[in-house]
Structure 1
Amino acid sequence: MRTLIATSFISLDGVVEAPGGEPDYRNSGWTMNSVEFDPAAYELKGTEQAEASAMLLGRISYQAFSPVWPSMTEEFPRYNAMPKYVLSTTLGEKDLVDNWGETTILRSISDVARLRAGEGGPISIHGSATLVRSLQEHQLIDRYNLLVFPVLLGAGKRLFSQESLDAQKLHLVDSQTYSNGIQKNVFDVLR
């Protein structure tokens, strides 16, 4: 079985929307505006890229990342080369970019569950808040890699589901606080 890893930049109040400056969002670019840059706080991103064997995205994140990430060859060499899976009921093959490697469209949470049950290494989920909430509700997330920023954003898409779910216990496997106040928290989901 593969490991599904949800990785996020997240505000202290749980907002994950538009951390990198995506247009048309209330607090767009909040990761760059809220703290001083400390490269050590982002080492987790390099580790994730080295360990992942595939990437899973929701439609909105795919459409935001696919025009930009393929040109970021120095920042994302492994992500650009690895297989990508996009969960969408509306995207067609014609909507996929042709310069970002192998991309497969999945149509349902059941398709994601089959992918997870198969052979291979970890699958990293970037952005994709709606997808992460749905996977949480179906108990398919295995790990959360969170960089928690010391900022309260109030409104915006949340990482965690607001549905009435049974408790999901987590085990903290790694944590660190950086000079700029960012906290790294890596949690495994206990089953």
Structure 2
Amino acid sequence: MRTLIVTEFISLDGVVDSPGGGDHPRAGWTFKEVPFVEEAYEIKGREQVEAGAMLIGRVSYDEFAPVWPTMEEFAEYNAMPKYVVSTTLSDPEWNNTSVLRSIDEVAELKQGDGGNILVHGSPTLAQGLAEAGLVDRYHLLVFPVTLGEGKRLFNGRENGKLQLVEHEAYPNGVVKYVYDVQH
């Protein structure tokens, strides 16, 4: 069985909306409001190397697909299998991308062989996966900003207790938390 990891940039008040760009009034808050410290992003490189697939929702697909294929730092992601959970997407253009129609299909994917499945962005999908008990781990980079409003990672209906397995604080105030979900 594969490990399903939700990986997020998250504000101190739990918002995951538009960390690099998007529709939120403070879109890009991860780099506009917090000084860059390279070592804080080490986990992102590790995720790419250890991942066997990427899983995203339709909104994240629409944001990532036009940009990520042009970025050298995402070479592993661009080459690996990608899965989009969507009831409306029919012909994904991003290399090596398949469409899954339901959380049940995600559960089937998770039962197969291969490396970790990473969920990037996609807070609505992450919530549904957590409610279904499919999330095994969270990789959270918590940024020292409060955004007040926007899409949140947690909705209070998640299953499982969290066990902290890795953490580190960085000089810019970002804190890395890695939690395993106790099923």
Question: What is the TM-score with the length of structure 1 in the denominator?
Answer: 0.93
1:90 is matched with: 88
The separation in 2 between residues aligned to 1:38 and 1:13, in whole angstroms, is 21
1:180 is matched with: 172
Report percent identity of matched pairs.
Answer: 59
Equivalence map 1:18-167=2 (5 Å): 18-22=18-22, 24-72=23-71, 74-93=72-91, 96-97=92-93, 100-163=94-157
The separation in 1 between residues aligned to 2:165 and 2:156, in whole angstroms, is 25
Give the residue type in structure 1 aligned to 2:20.
G
Give the residue type in structure 2 aligned to 1:21.
G
> Displacement of 1:101 after TM fit?
2.1
> Displacement of 1:52 after TM fit?
0.3
**Aligned equivalent of 2:163, options 151, 157, 171:** 171
The separation in 1 between residues aligned to 2:27 and 2:76, in whole angstroms, is 26
> Displacement of 1:119 after TM fit?
1.2
CA displacement 1:132-159 (0-9 Å, x = unmatched): 0000111100000000001110000000
Gaps of 5+ in 1: none
Q: Is the 8 A contact 1:26 1:156 kept in 2?
A: no
Give the residue type in structure 2 aligned to 1:17.
D
How many equivalent residue pairs? 183
> Displacement of 1:120 after TM fit?
1.1
The separation in 2 between residues aligned to 1:124 and 1:8, in whole angstroms, is 10
Give the residue type in structure 1 aligned to 2:60.
S
The separation in 2 between residues aligned to 1:29 and 1:119, in whole angstroms, is 36
What SS does the aligned partner of 1:7 have? strand
The separation in 1 between residues aligned to 2:19 and 2:54, in whole angstroms, is 19
Give the residue type in structure 1 aligned to 2:165.
V
Residue 190, structure 1, aligned to residue 182, structure 2: yes
CA displacement 1:40-97 (0-9 Å, x = unmatched): 101110000010010000000001000000000x21110110000000011112xx11
> Displacement of 1:33 after TM fit?
1.9
The separation in 1 between residues aligned to 2:156 and 2:117, in whole angstroms, is 24
The separation in 2 between residues aligned to 1:66 and 1:113, in whole angstroms, is 24
Residue 9, structure 1, aligned to residue 3, structure 2: no
> Displacement of 1:162 after TM fit?
3.6
The separation in 1 between residues aligned to 2:138 and 2:124, in whole angstroms, is 15
> Displacement of 1:161 after TM fit?
2.1
Give the residue type in structure 1 aligned to 2:120.
H
Gaps of 5+ in 2: none
